[in-house]
Amino acid sequence: MKKNFVLTCALLLTLFAGDSQPAQSMDEKEAVRQAALDYVEAIYNVDPSRIERSVHPDLAKRGYYLKRGESQYSSSPMTFQELIEVAKNWNKSGKLPKDAPKEITVFDVLDQTASVKLVAAWGIDYMHLAKYNGKWMIVNILWQSPPKRNP
- Sign of dihedral through CA atoms 134, 135, 139, 142? positive
Residue 125 dihedral angles phi and psi, to the nearest 5°: -115, 135
List pLDDT tens digits, range 80-103: 999 999 999 999 999 999 899 999
pLDDT score of 68 more than 90 = no
Please name the residues in contact with 68: beta carbons below 8 A apart, sequence gap of 6 or more: none
pTM of the model as a whole: 0.81
List pLDDT tens digits, range 27-59: 999 999 999 999 999 999 999 999 999 999 999
Percent of the chain with pLDDT over 70: 83
Q: Is 52 helix (H, G, I), strand (E, B) or coil?
A: helix
pLDDT score of 72 more than 50 = yes
Angle at 49 between CA 46 and CA 52, to 5 degrees: 125
Query: How far, in Å, CA of 55 to CA of 139, rounded?
Result: 6
Q: Give the domains, in start order, of the chain with CATH numbers.
A: 24-144 (3.10.450.50)
Query: How far, in Å, CA of 133 to CA of 106, rounded?
Result: 21
Residue 101: count of CB within 10 angstroms of its CB = 15
pLDDT band at 21 (very low <50, low <70, confident <90, very high): very low
